[in-house]
Structure 1
Amino acid sequence: MDKTLLKGLMLLEALAEQNGRPVTIQTLAETTGLTRSNAHRTLQTLAHAGYATRDESTGNYRITFKLFQLGAKQTAQIDVRQFASGEMHRLAELTRETVHLSILDAADVIYVDKIDSPQPVRAYSELGGRAPAYCVATGKVLLAFKGAEYIARHLKELVQFSDTTIVDLQALKVELARIAVVGYAVNRGEWRKSVGGVAAPIFDAFGAPVAAIGISGPLERLSLKRIKEFTPAVQSAASSVSRAMGYRE
């Protein structure tokens, strides 16, 4: 393990043990076995990253909620399948289309759970499979709640998969801004030419979008009219899961 990382972890552990109380650099150095200068430099780095904060009047440090939030968000991504299971089954029964539960990973979405449509012609996908986030409904609705920095970092090149794929970054930003306002995203054959869908975001207790739930199906069956009919049910399912995870608007 990198020595700098190890020092940071040691100091974070020592700060966490103080239960939010400010502590001196000397005490932290003695607790971790670091020299005072090493502890001071590492604490400055942790403070710059937002994991610790310095009391300007005393020079003492205490831990922030950022580490707790980071851990809670990771836990939420793992547990979201359990919270979403009931709503996924209700959507599957109502729509008779494939239901996906997705999380965002850089420029892709990963299908962490799904229920296949009972119909012979359906949208095919693999559990654990990936799709370009900017081309599918679950991906677009998650990207819509990410900042400009995230978009710039992960969507530098937009590959065209079909005639309806959005490959202009500015046009995509406009689309994502619209999605953030209406609260759902629609895909009209933007990745796979004959497959479309609609999805809504799932928020955790901190208000962060941790997953998306949506339906997918062949465009010949999942027309714009049908998507419009199913959208309220998709949004309702996402809201129910969000509430179960502690989210309050």
Structure 2
Amino acid sequence: MNNTLIKGLQVVELLAHADRPQPLTHIANRLGMAKSNVHRLLQALTELRYVIRDEATGGYNASIKMWELGSAVLQKLDLRRIAEPRMNTLMEDSGESVHLSVLDHDEVVYVHKIESLNPVRAYTQIGGRVPVYCVATGKAMLAFQSEPFIGRVAERLQRYTDATITVPRRLQLEIDKIRRQGYAVNRGEWRDSVYGVAAPIVDGSGHVIAALGLSGPANRFKPARIKVFSEQVIAAASEISADLGGGSGTQMLGQITHYMIARKR
């Protein structure tokens, strides 16, 4: 692989996730690179408009071009395009914010979001990442991954709130429950007092490729409401799956179960 390209991308990723301009020395130290090498990379990235230099501090920021590229990619995602009408309907029916997520290694990536009409606060952002076992959309996808994958996740459980699952056995019990009922619940496991309900989305082969979820404050996610939300989320996820060629309703869950059994053999 091209080392210069790899190092350049590492610089871009660091700046994209930073919340303030980053000094040259800090970038070099974080990435374990020589300052002279980082300086050359920053010059090239600045010329290409991927990076801008903050004149006040002398630090570097990722430019708006990164957002433009990301938006262009998102616009081309069939999943996002197909899901959006169902997401709008789900938001209107539930009154809660709706998320569309995909799995990237052991993290959830939010690829689309429909904000509630009366949000309390912004809990997530498009492009944001969260450990897969901490949120409803993540658990809805995790439950239908291979056992070796689940095992690797279980070995690296970390606590983020008092409700975070940190015991492998408890995670397995949660996964078993999700497989039985077809949806996942987050009870403040990533952010205190932020709850969620989600269901998996499958393609025509029965693969779980994404998850659809609702999130909001804990006081609006009482047991009776969670039951209603689960039915709404499953229905919406089923419709998206059908649009992707993955069947609908109990057929969708049957496909997932069949796929899981086949993978264990």
TM-score of the aligned structures, taking structure 2 as reference length: 0.63
Q: Secondary structure at the match of 1:165?
A: coil
**What corresponds to 1:205 in structure 2?**
204
Q: For residues 174 and 202 of structure 1, what CA distance do their matches in structure 2 show?
A: 21
Q: What displacement does 1:207 show?
A: 0.4
Output one character per residue of 1:166-225: Cα deviation in whole Å (capped at 9) or x when no partner: 100121011101101110001110110110010000000110000000100010222222
**What corresponds to 2:66 in structure 1?**
none
**What corresponds to 1:167 in structure 2?**
166
**What corresponds to 2:218 in structure 1?**
219
CA separation of 1:83 and 1:120: change in aligned 2, threshold 3 A: closer
Q: What displacement does 1:154 show?
A: 3.7
Q: For residues 117 and 92 of structure 1, what CA distance do their matches in structure 2 show?
A: 6
**What corresponds to 1:141 in structure 2?**
140
Q: Secondary structure at the match of 1:80?
A: helix
Q: For residues 121 and 92 of structure 2, what CA distance do their matches in structure 1 show?
A: 14
Q: Secondary structure at the match of 2:99?
A: strand
Q: For residues 120 and 221 of structure 2, what CA distance do their matches in structure 1 show?
A: 11
**What corresponds to 2:77 in structure 1?**
78
TM-score of the aligned structures, taking structure 1 as reference length: 0.67
Q: Secondary structure at the match of 2:174?
A: helix
For 2:134, give the aligned amino acid: C
Q: Secondary structure at the match of 1:192?
A: coil
Moved more, 78-87 or 185-194: 78-87
Q: What displacement does 1:120 show?
A: 4.1
| Structure label with greater radius of gyration | 1
**What corresponds to 2:178 in structure 1?**
179
For 2:130, give the aligned amino acid: A
Q: For residues 84 and 147 of structure 1, what CA distance do their matches in structure 2 show?
A: 25
The structure 1 segments of at least 4 consecutive aligned residues displaced by more than 3 Å after TM superposition are none
Q: Secondary structure at the match of 1:215?
A: strand
Question: Quick check: 2:99–2:110 contact (8 Å CA) kept in 1?
Answer: yes
User: Which structure 1 residue ranges, 5 or more long, are not aligned?
Assistant: 3-76
CA separation of 1:143 and 1:120: change in aligned 2, threshold 3 A: closer
Say what the alpha-carbon RMSD is for the aligned residues.
Answer: 1.7
For 1:230, give the aligned amino acid: F
Q: Secondary structure at the match of 1:99?
A: strand
**What corresponds to 1:96 in structure 2?**
95
Q: What displacement does 1:131 show?
A: 1.1
Q: For residues 168 and 236 of structure 1, what CA distance do their matches in structure 2 show?
A: 31
Q: For residues 119 and 136 of structure 2, what CA distance do their matches in structure 1 show?
A: 22
Q: For residues 209 and 200 of structure 2, what CA distance do their matches in structure 1 show?
A: 8
Total equivalences in the alignment: 175
Higher relative contact order (CA 8 A, sep 6+): 1
Q: Secondary structure at the match of 2:133?
A: helix
Q: For residues 240 and 93 of structure 1, what CA distance do their matches in structure 2 show?
A: 16
Fraction of identical pairs, as percent: 49
Q: Secondary structure at the match of 2:216?
A: strand
Moved more, 143-152 or 221-230: 221-230
